[in-house]
Amino acid sequence: MSWEKVGKSLVGLLIVAASAAALYAMFKDDDGLQARLTYSYLTYPSQFSERISKTNELLKYERLHAQIREVGKGALNRQQLDKLVDLAQAPYLQLFAKPFEAGLVDHRTGLLIELRNKGDAPVRDVRIRLPAKGLVQIRDENGNDNILQEPTGLIDIASIGREGHCKVWVYFDSDYSQIRQGGISIRHADGLADVQVHREFVGFPAWVGRYSRELMLLLACLFIGVLGLGYVCLAQRRALGRSGTPL
C-alpha cells in the first residue's frame, strides 16, 4: 500500500467521523425528563458531636432527679420528681426519636437528584426507586418543600411542567459505597428519564474535566494538522515522482 493511499484513507476516515458527529448532534433527542445525580459523603463538625455527648450527660435521669430534688428542698414527693424529670427529658427524647437515635452520625450518605423537563409537554407520574430507604425532601418547580417524615425507598412526583425542574434530597443511613453501587430507577408515564451521574474529582482529573472541551478542541486541531501535513508531504512526493526527480 502506497503512502498516498494511506493519506487519502486517513482523510476519508476523518471526514466520516466528523459527519457522524454532526449527524449525532443534529438528531440527538434532548427532549423529555433529564435527571442529574450527585452523590456526596456528608461530614459534620466534631463540636456538634461533643455537644450531643454533654447534653446526654446533663439529661440523665440520676442527674436531673438529684438537681430537681435539691431545688424542691424536700417539698416534692417521688411521683412529682419523676414527672418533672420526664418533662425535662421529653424534648431531648423527641429530638433523638427514630430514625435519629444516634443523632446525625448515621446519615452520612447524601444524594441530590435534579430533575428537569426539557420537553414541550408536562411530564407526569414521575417515580424514583432508590437503592435503599432514606429521608427525603422534595422541592417542586414552585419552590415549595415537601419533607417526608419516614424513610422511604420510593418517591412519587405527580408532574413536572414544561421547562420545569425540581430537586430531591435523600439522606441514607447506609454506607456510601453501598449506595453508589446500588441501582436507581427514574421513570415517568412516557418512559425512562435520561440519567446523568456526576462525581467529584480533585487534582489532574478535575483539571481535565474542567477543561475537557478545550482539550478535545486542541486534540482535534492537532489531529487535523497532522493529517494535513501528511497529505501535503504525500502530494509533494507524488509531484516529485511524476517529474522524474529521484526520491
Tens of pLDDT, residue by residue over 196-236, are 987 666 567 667 667 777 788 888 887 777 767 666 676 66
Report the CATH architecture of 31-42+113-198.
Answer: Sandwich (2.60)
C-alpha span between 6 and 8 (Å, rounded): 5
Report the predicted TM-score, pTM, of the whole model to 2 decimal places. 0.66
Residue 25 clears pLDDT 50, i.e. is over it: no
Comparison of pLDDT for 24 and 149, the residue scoring more: 149
* Average of per-residue pLDDT values in the chain: 81
**What residue spans define the domains of the chain?**
3-26+204-241, 31-42+113-198, 46-95
The angle formed by the CA atoms of residues 51, 52 and 58, to the nearest 5 degrees, is 90
Q: pLDDT for 81-129, tens place per residue?
A: 899 999 988 988 888 888 887 777 788 899 999 999 988 889 999 999 9
The Cα 128–Cα 141 span in angstroms is 17
Say which amino acid occupies 135. L
pLDDT over 70 percentage in the chain: 76
Is the model more confident about 247 or about 46? 46
Q: What value, to the nearest 5°, has the Cα angle with vertex 39 and ends 35 and 40?
A: 150
Digit-coded pLDDT (tens) for 40-52? 988 878 888 788 8
CA dihedral over 150, 155, 161, 164, signed as positive or negative: positive
Predicted confidence (pLDDT) at residue 36 exceeds the cutoff of 80: yes
Give the span between the Cα atoms of 48 and 54, in whole angstroms.
Answer: 10
Q: Please say whether the beta carbons of 139 and 115 come within 8 A.
A: no
Please say if the pLDDT value at position 131 is more than 70. yes
* Residue (of 108, 109, 96, 122) closest to 33 by Cα position: 122
Phi and psi at 244, nearest 5°, equal: 85, 5
Q: How far apart are CA 50 and CA 97, in angstroms?
A: 19
